[in-house]
Amino acid sequence: MEVKRMPAPSRKNAPADASWSAAKVSLRAATAEDVSAPSPALKLRQRVEERWIDDHAPAIDQRWSARRTLAFIILTCGGFWACVLFGIARLFH
């Protein structure tokens, strides 16, 4: 099976106003004086976060401690692997 490749564009086939090939791109690092346009996505994210915090503030105050979270993870993962090992042992016994 032969793979055919697309030919590279040449200047003789370029349009008469080949400004796209003559354009120069220059990049510079942003400075503190640069002003960015307001982002609709950022505004939406901030509104959703504020609304979520208002709706869930009591639940945030009832978070688990790190010790309780770690104990939960160890027990649930340990229970899962114990069931897997028990099931494998029952299959091959």
pLDDT 10s digits, 1-10: 566 666 666 6
Q: Residue 53 is inside which H or E element, if any? A: helix 40-61
pLDDT at 75 over 90: yes
Each residue's pLDDT tens digit, 22-45 = 567 778 887 878 777 788 999 999
**Residue pLDDT, tens place only, 40-67:** 999 999 999 888 887 777 666 677 899 9
Give the pLDDT band of residue 19 (cuts 50, 70, 90): low
Query: Residues with Cβ < 8 Å from 34, sequence gap 6 or more?
Result: none
Report pLDDT for 27. Answer: 82
Alpha-carbon torsion (65, 66, 71, 76), positive or negative: positive
